[in-house]
Every structure is written in structure tokens, then in C-alpha cells.
Amino acid sequence: MTMLVTVTCLHYIANHMLRLPFMAIREDEEASEASGINTAKYKLLAFMISAFFSAIAGSLYVYYMRVALPRMLSLDTQLIAVCSVVLGGMGTIIGPVIGAYIVTVLSQLLSIFIPRGAVLVYAIITFLFVAIFPGGLMSFLIKPRKR
């Protein structure tokens, strides 16, 4: 339920409220500043929005795990998050959700077959998708619709 509410809120924020200023700043920050957009304000707002939803995710993760330890912020955990985003597709909202689902299923399979080599598999997947498919899996779904 929380994921559905979060994705819906992010979709509304990204496609209705702040679409034009964020797109303008992403394309050309200097031109956006020259056209009157307060880029510092919108960058800070983007940081605050990402921090808010990251805090929700982190608090739910700690609630689920029932403990908060420093090793929860290890390289393994961070690589899984990066792999989810890169696999699904950066710059989209539903892409990282799809990527997280695939990485979760993959981690279950890897824990059975190669429990110690999971980090290497995540690193290889991340490298391949960054080098070969920079748009992630969402690029295969979005590009045909644009044509």
C-alpha cells in the first residue's frame, strides 16, 4: 500500500506540479536561470522530495528488519539499490520499481545457487546496463510508444 501511495505521489509531482521547471533545469541549467526559473529553489526542492521518500523507505526497512545496524549501509546494500535503479531505468518512476522487483527475485535465486557471489553478479548487471542499455528496461517500453 505504501509503495502504491508513494508511486502515485511521485507521479503527480513529476508530471503535474513540477514537470516544466525540473525538465528545464535538467536540459540546460543556465538557460533556465536566464529565463527566470529559480534553479537553486527547485534543486533544493528536488533534494527535499528525494530525502523525504528515502526516509520513508529507510524507516520501513528498519521496521521490517526490526534492527538498525551500521552494516545495513554496506556496499552490498547500496549496490542492490543502484542495480535496481539502473536495471529498471533512470529518469522514470515505474522503472526502479520494476528493477527492484527483478533484483529481489534475482537475490532469492542467487542465495540458493551462489550465495557468496551475489555482489559480483549485481556489479556485472549494473556495468552491462550502464554500458549497453543506459535507459534500462524502461527504454524498451518507452521507445516503441514514442515512434
- Residue pLDDT, tens place only, 134-146: 889 888 877 665 5
| Nearest-angstrom CA–CA distance, 79 and 83 | 6
Per-position DSSP letters for 26-87, written without gaps between them: HH-HHHHHHTT--HHHHHHHHHHHHHHHHHHHHHHHHHHHT---GGGGSHHHHHHHHHHHHH
Asked if 10 and 93 count as a contact pair (C-beta separation under 8 A), the reply is yes
* pTM confidence score: 0.80
Residue 52 in this model has a pLDDT that exceeds 60: yes
Q: What tens digit of pLDDT does each residue of 2-35 get? A: 999 999 999 998 888 889 999 999 999 999 999 9
User: Both ends of the chain: CA-CA distance in Å?
Assistant: 34
Give the per-residue pLDDT at 117: 83
